[in-house]
Structures are given as structure tokens and as C-alpha cells.
């Protein structure tokens, strides 16, 4: 089966600019996650969707980050305006249901903010 | 949520068995132990999950002692392609919990 797709794979922007990342989860997976992974650290959960509803966004910097999952399938994560500390890999993952210990991760989008 | 402690890095040679131990002294009764593997420039990949005693699959074995305060991921006869970061996670994900990744163990396999 096809895995989790993400685009773009790489993005370089200047601080204060905006950027958007796209994720297409595995077909049929109800739960979708966005993680931020800073170099040398483990992934940190930003937001979790169950179908098209938000389950957990407690670690999402809501003043600059936003995410949506229209129709409960694809999802978009946006940063506006970007800061230097937002430089990281943004990973999307999906699982068949909420709270599954087995999540399927995409390849990630590497963001560099200059 | 139980905090996990694992070595930051480990070195091994091809063909050896590698054991990575994770400490989780505050593990709760309903918590499961899960291990993920992450190669450079890729997202993490689920390896194995267990609750107690021993679990084995085609990739690894997971040993959990009776007190469950630690666990050991065993990789048999590693190859260069096993060079990766290995994360130990503890939580009750199957009850709606979330994955919390620590720093992981960076395993380097040498020829």
C-alpha cells in the first residue's frame, strides 16, 4: 500500500515569510499527526486530528502555526510568519485509529528559515 | 507519562548482537513499551511493542523484566543498514495516549 506522502521535501524561506506543508495519509487512516523534529532531538507532536476534528493541539504555537484537515483526508500545516527557530523537519504520520501505538510516518519536509 | 532514559549513542560491528536498554522507572500499569527506528532523512518507523516478558518479530526482540522498570531492544546480527536512531517510548497509546519521543539512541554499525 502507498505510504504517507508529504510535499515539498525541502523548503528554504526567509524569516517573517509564510510557508505551507501538505500531507496525504495512508488511505483509510482516521488519525493524522503533525510532528516537528529539530536537529538532534526526537519528534514533538504539534497537532493530532481524528477524521477532520482536532484531538490535541496543546503544543502547537497557535500564534503562528495553523493546521487543517478538510474532509478528513489530506492536511495542511502552515506557518505565518516564520521564525529562525522554526527550522526543523516537519513530519506527518497517520494511524488507523486514535491512540494507536503504530503510527506510519512520511519522509518529512525539511524547513530552513534564514 | 513515564519518563524514559536510554544511552545517547552506541557503537557496534557488523554481525554482532546489539542490546539497547531503556529505563522507565515510573511506568504505569496500563502503559505499553514501544520502540521506533529512524534512518537519516526519513520518518520514524515502528519496530516492536510489548507489555511484559518477551516479544519477538522478524526485526527484533523486546525483553521486559517482571517489574517492567526497564526494557531491552535486541537486534540480532546487525548490518551497516541498521545504523539509525532508536527511540524507546512508554505510554497507553491504545487508550488514546500520544507518542512522546525522547532523544533516542544513535546506533552506529561499523564494518
**Which among B92, B94, B99 has the least Cβ separation from residue A45?**
B99
Q: What is the pLDDT of residues B51-90, one digit of tens each?
A: 999 999 999 999 999 999 999 999 999 999 999 999 999 9
Question: Least CA distance to A89: which residue of chain B?
Answer: B41
Distance from CA of B1 to the nearest CA of A (A): 14
**Which among B41, B46, B87 has the least Cβ separation from residue A42?**
B87
Distance from CA of A8 to the nearest CA of B (A): 14
Task: Note the pLDDT of residue B1.
Answer: 62
Task: Note the pLDDT of residue A79.
Answer: 98
Question: Least CA distance to B88: which residue of chain A?
Answer: A42
Mean pLDDT over A60-69 rounds to 96
User: How would you class A56 by CB atoms within 10 Å of its CB: exposed for 0-12, middle for 13-18, buried for 19 or more?
Assistant: middle
Average the pLDDT over each of A63-67, A73-77, A93-97, B23-27 and give the range with the smallest value: A93-97
**Which among A101, A104, A107 has the least Cβ separation from residue B94?**
A101
Over 80: is that where the pLDDT of B93 sits?
no
Mean pLDDT over A42-49 rounds to 94
**Inter-CA distances, A18 with A45, A50, B29, Å:** 21, 26, 44
Over 90: is that where the pLDDT of B92 sits?
no
Task: Note the pLDDT of residue A74.
Answer: 96
Kindly determine whether residue B43 and residue A99, on different chains, have CB atoms separated by under 8 Å: no
Kindly list the strands in the beta sheet with B61-64, ordered across the sheet, starting from the edge strand earlier in the chain.
B18-23, B70-75, B61-64, B53-56
Cell readout for A44 is: 514533538
Amino acid at each position: 500500500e502507498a505510504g504517507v506522502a508529504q510535499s515539498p521535501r525541502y523548503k528554504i524561506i526567509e524569516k517573517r515569510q509564510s510557508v505551507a506543508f501538505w500531507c496525504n495519509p495512508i488511505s483509510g487512516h482516521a488519525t493524522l499527526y503533525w510532528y516537528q523534529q529539530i536537529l538532534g532531538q526526537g519528534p514533538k507532536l504539534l497537532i493530532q486530528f481524528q477524521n477532520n476534528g482536532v484531538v490535541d493541539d496543546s503544543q502547537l504555537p497557535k500564534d503562528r502555526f495553523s493546521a487543517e484537515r478538510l474532509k478528513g483526508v489530506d492536511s495542511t500545516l502552515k506557518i505565518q510568519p516564520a521564525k529562525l527557530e522554526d527550522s526543523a523537519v516537519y513530519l506527518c504520520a497517520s494511524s488507523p485509529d486514535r491512540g494507536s501505538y503504530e503510527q506510519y510516518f512520511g519522509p518529512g519536509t525539511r524547513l530552513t528559515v534564514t | 507519562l513515564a519518563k524514559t532514559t536510554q544511552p545517547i549513542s552506541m557503537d557496534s560491528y557488523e554481525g554482532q548482537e546489539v542490546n539497547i536498554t531503556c529505563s522507565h522507572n515510573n511506568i504505569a500499569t496500563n502503559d505499553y513499551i514501544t520502540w521506533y527506528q529512524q534512518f537519516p532523512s526519513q520518518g520514524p518507523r515502528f519496530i516492536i511493542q510489548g507489555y511484559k516478558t518477551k516479544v519477538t518479530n522478524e526485526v527484533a526482540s523486546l525483553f521486559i523484566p517482571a517489574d517492567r522498570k526497564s526494557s531491552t531492544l535486541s537486534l540480532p546480527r546487525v548490518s551497516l543498514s541498521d545504523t539509525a536512531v532508536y527511540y524507546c517510548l512508554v505510554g497507553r497509546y491504545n487508550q488514546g495516549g500520544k507518542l512522546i519521543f525522547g532523544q533516542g539512541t544513535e546506533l552506529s554499525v561499523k564494518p
